[in-house]
Amino acid sequence: MKSVYVEDLSKGMTITSQIFAIQEAEKNDTKDGKPYYRVTFVDKTGSVNGQIWADKFPSVELGALKPGNLVMLDGSVEEFKGKLQINVLKLTRVDETALEEYIESSDFDLDELWKMMMSFVAKVENKQIKKLLDNLFADKELAAKYKVMPAAEQVHHSFRGGLLEHVVEMLELADVYRKFYKEVNYDLVIAGIILHDIGKLYELTNVGMVVQRTTEGALVGHLIKSFEILVEYSKGILDEETLLNLKHIILSHHGELEYGSPVLPATIEAAIVSSVDSASSKVRIYQKVLKRNAKRQGNFSDYDQILRTKVYKKSLSQDDARESLGQFKLE
């Protein structure tokens, strides 16, 4: 039974017979030419790096060092460059079926999130766009993936159901604009949000207990794949102008050329999709940092490479913060 999670680790702790999933494992050589393994261990609370030195190889099942495998390990928790890591002393592969212990999932009920997304689809008045979305989710295999896939490997919404939660969050945020911007075509906004990251269904895949990038994902990426899916499912349905607008929303949704978009948002609908995508993604990263550092002493989190800052944690009392992070309800 798992009793120690990544969030529980602290400097100087000794780990005995604890189970983690392997996210990444890479063999390297030290400056002296001695082999060692750099491993990333994960569970539902986060990830931590580990090192396996050559003198410990006899106590390690080296064949188990593959992404997606569950392993039981003994080790000591150390600190290196301000971050915790596990010095592995012993490791063996285990067969474990309690996936909820190792796969981070949405805090919301996925069936409820799906109903919320479909309520937005029902609002669409344009018959062409409505038919496109209906045809899209009539594909049962695609719909099943859409419901459970993460929105990323490690950054924002990187958990089971993350894509669906990210999309519903964006739809709710964009709906606020209706009160202030009457000239916007919200049918395009709804379709654009639902389609903007749909390529991630093929960019990412589940390997054992972890999410990894597919070959197509590495060589093509989700932005272009989303574009291709739109073109495929819109054949014989969308007129040229509607298709052009949705293509633009997908290609511009990263918002900046340096973030991977080949064009900047040039329509008000594309601007809305890009803005709510950025808001959903960035705020979720802040939440993730707060969760990861909930038990860290001091007023600030550790330095986050993505946010390029430390996050101040003392806006709530520690008890209130834990309570607020632990309560999720769809209303």
Q: Using the predicted structure, report yes or no on whether residue 170 has a pLDDT greater than 70.
A: yes
Q: Are residues 83 and 126 in the same domain?
A: no
Q: How far apart are CA 102 and CA 240, in angstroms?
A: 46
Question: Which residue, 133, 241, 228, 227, is CA-closest to 185?
Answer: 241
pLDDT reported for residue 226: 94
Q: Are residues 204 and 224 in the same domain?
A: yes
Q: Are residues 137 and 53 in the same domain?
A: no
237 vs 213, more confident: 237
pLDDT reported for residue 216: 85
DSSP state letter for 156 = S
Q: Are residues 115 and 252 in the same domain?
A: yes
Q: Which residues make beta-bridge pairs with 93?
A: 71
CA dihedral 202, 207, 213, 219 (to 10 degrees): -70
Q: Are residues 200 and 120 in the same domain?
A: yes
Give the pLDDT confidence of 49-62 residue by residue, as tens digits: 999 999 999 999 99
Q: For the chain, how many structural domains are there in total?
A: 2
Radius of gyration for the alpha carbons in the chain, expressed in angstroms and rounded: 22
Q: Are residues 22 and 93 in the same domain?
A: yes
Q: Tell me the CATH number at 96.
A: 2.40.50.140
Structural domain range at position 169: 110-285
**291 within domain boundaries:** no
What angle in degrees, to the nearest 10, is found between the helix axes of 186-196 and 110-123? Answer: 150
Residue 327's alpha-carbon distances to 107, 108, 263, 323, in angstroms, are 9, 10, 39, 6
Of the residues 285, 301, 324, the one at which a domain ends: 285
Q: Are residues 168 and 47 in the same domain?
A: no
Q: Are residues 61 and 119 in the same domain?
A: no
Q: How far apart are CA 47 and CA 41, in angstroms?
A: 6
Residue corresponding to tokens 């669409």: 124
**54 within domain boundaries:** yes
Q: Using the predicted structure, report yes or no on whether residue 47 has a pLDDT greater than 90.
A: no
**240 within domain boundaries:** yes
**295 within domain boundaries:** no
Q: Are residues 161 and 276 in the same domain?
A: yes
Question: Which residue, 109, 105, 163, is CA-closest to 331?
Answer: 109
Contacts of 132-139 with CB under 8 Å at 24 or more apart are 132/191, 132/233, 132/234, 132/237, 132/238, 133/191, 133/194, 135/233, 135/237, 136/194, 136/195, 136/198, 136/233
Give the pLDDT confidence of 177-191 residue by residue, as tens digits: 999 999 999 999 999
Q: Are residues 93 and 48 in the same domain?
A: yes
Q: pLDDT confidence of 150, banded at 50, 70, 90? A: confident
Q: Tell me the CATH number at 162.
A: 1.10.3210
Give the pLDDT confidence of 190-233 residue by residue, as tens digits: 999 999 999 988 888 766 556 778 888 788 888 999 999 999 99
**201 within domain boundaries:** yes
pLDDT reported for residue 146: 92
Q: pLDDT confidence of 132, banded at 50, 70, 90? A: very high
Q: Which residues make beta-bridge pairs with 37?
A: 27, 52
Q: pLDDT confidence of 95, banded at 50, 70, 90? A: confident
**321 within domain boundaries:** no
Q: How far apart are CA 102 and CA 96, in angstroms?
A: 10
Q: Are residues 64 and 115 in the same domain?
A: no
Q: Stretch 264-292: mean pLDDT, rounded? A: 91
Q: Stretch 100-116: mean pLDDT, rounded? A: 80
Which amino acid type is present at position 41?
Answer: F
Q: Are residues 259 and 117 in the same domain?
A: yes
Q: Using the predicted structure, report yes or no on whether residue 274 has a pLDDT greater than 90.
A: yes
DSSP state letter for 309 = B
CA dihedral 205, 206, 207, 212 (to 10 degrees): 50
**157 within domain boundaries:** yes
Question: Which residue, 84, 190, 212, is CA-closest to 129?
Answer: 190
Q: Using the predicted structure, report yes or no on whether residue 16 has a pLDDT greater than 80.
A: yes
The whole-chain average pLDDT of the chain stands at 86
- Pairing of the two strands 14-29 and 35-43: antiparallel
**306 within domain boundaries:** no
